[in-house]
């Protein structure tokens, strides 16, 4: 199984500041056939289901604010919130869909300082 | 607008069975894989499995923790996905989310239902 790790476990930044979440996979999730990274990011606010933010490691889902961006390749990935807003308070998960079982990271809790 | 509505959860004794349903609307159901993800109380997300669209063979994949006990199926004529859960254990207690995948095979979960709570307890 591909193990996903995230860092930090939690973070708190001031409104308008940049927040960065890291995700690492135990093996590459880059499929050489199509040069795509099989990595997604989700946001889960309290009491709500998760919401897709980013897929293929860097493609923003329709309707997601452009302050959210994904980067990285192979085994190391980053979700960046360029200017943290109050409504961004949530837990963020990465997930690999390169191979089954599709595994999630443990989550990173984002709060406002 | 994509809508996914789960039903069928509840309180069940260990060893018993349940069938969860996911009624979909707002998209061509038969074109997409459907998956189930669960979340134990206060915990993270755990992938349960998915079923491919008929165009991709309609086959299923499962997490090792549920293989042999859980079965995912679909009725494209009704736009419903099912999760049959047998031989339930206390550790199966979770909110079960139905998700629509990005295309006909397993991939990222583009849309999520609100979830249905399954509580396994004697």
pLDDT at B15: 98
Q: Which of B70, B99, B109 to mutate to probe the A interface, most A CBs <10 Å?
A: B109
* pLDDT, tens only, B45-84: 999 999 999 999 999 999 999 999 999 999 999 999 999 9
**Closest Cα of chain B to A61: distance in Å?**
8
What does the alpha-carbon distance between residue B107 and residue B103 come to, in Å, rounded to a whole number? 7
**A92, pLDDT greater than 90:** yes
pLDDT at B102: 93
**Closest Cα of chain B to A18: distance in Å?**
24
**B104, pLDDT greater than 90:** no
**Cβ <8 Å between B47 and A101:** yes
DSSP string across chain A: ---EEEE-SEEEE-TT--EEEEEEESS--EETTTTEE-EEEEEE-TTS--EEEEETTTEEPTT--TTEEEEEETTEEEEEESS--GGG-EEEEEEE-SSSS--B---EEEEE-
**A94, pLDDT greater than 90:** yes
Residues in chain B within 8 Å Cβ distance of A104: 44-47
Contacts of B19 (CB under 8 A, 6+ apart): B8, B82, B83, B84, B85
**Cβ <8 Å between B108 and A40:** yes
Query: Mean of the per-residue pLDDT values for chain B?
Result: 97
What does the alpha-carbon distance between residue A78 and residue A97 come to, in Å, rounded to a whole number? 16
Between B45, B62, B114, which is nearest A93 by CB? B45
pLDDT at A26: 98
Confidence of residue B96 (pLDDT cuts 50, 70, 90): very high
Please give the backbone phi and psi of residue A93, each rounded to the nearest 5 degrees, phi first: -120, 140
**Closest Cα of chain A to B97: distance in Å?**
8
Between A1, A100, A104, which is nearest B106 by CB? A100
**Cβ <8 Å between A55 and B110:** yes
**Cβ <8 Å between A101 and B64:** yes
Q: Which residues 27-86 of A are in CB contact (within 8 Å) with B?
A: 38, 40, 42, 44, 49-52, 55-56, 61
Strands A51-55 and A59-60: antiparallel
**B97, pLDDT greater than 90:** yes
Q: How many CA atoms lie within 13 A of A24 on its CB side?
A: 5
pLDDT at A91: 98
CB B94 within 8 A of CB B46: yes
* pLDDT, tens only, A38-81: 999 999 999 999 999 999 999 999 999 999 999 999 999 999 99
Residue of B nearest to A50 (CA): B112
């Amino acid at each position: 199984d591909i193990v996903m790790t995230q860092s930090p476990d939690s973070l708190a930044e001031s409104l308008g500041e940049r927040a960065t979440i890291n995700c690492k996979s135990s093996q590459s999730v880059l499929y050489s056939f199509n040069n795509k990274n099989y990595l997604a990011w989700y946001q889960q606010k309290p009491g709500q289901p998760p919401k897709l933010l980013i897929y293929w490691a860097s493609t923003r889902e329709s309707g997601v604010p452009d302050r959210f961006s994904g980067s990285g390749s192979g085994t190391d990935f980053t979700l960046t919130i360029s200017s943290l807003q109050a409504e961004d308070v949530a837990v963020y998960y990465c997930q690999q869909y390169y191979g089954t079982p599709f595994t999630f990271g443990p989550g990173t809790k984002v709060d406002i300082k | 607008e994509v809508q996914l509505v789960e039903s069928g959860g509840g309180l069940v004794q260990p060893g018993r069975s349940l069938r969860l349903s996911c009624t979909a609307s707002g998209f061509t159901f038969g074109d997409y894989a459907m998956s189930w993800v669960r979340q134990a109380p206060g915990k993270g997300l755990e992938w349960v499995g998915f079923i491919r669209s008929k165009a991709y063979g309609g086959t299923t994949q499962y997490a090792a923790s549920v293989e042999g006990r859980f079965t995912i199926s679909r009725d494209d004529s009704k736009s419903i996905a099912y999760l049959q859960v047998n031989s339930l254990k206390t550790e199966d207690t979770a909110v079960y989310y139905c998700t629509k995948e990005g295309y006909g095979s397993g991939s990222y979960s583009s849309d999520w239902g609100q979830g249905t709570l399954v509580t396994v307890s004697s």
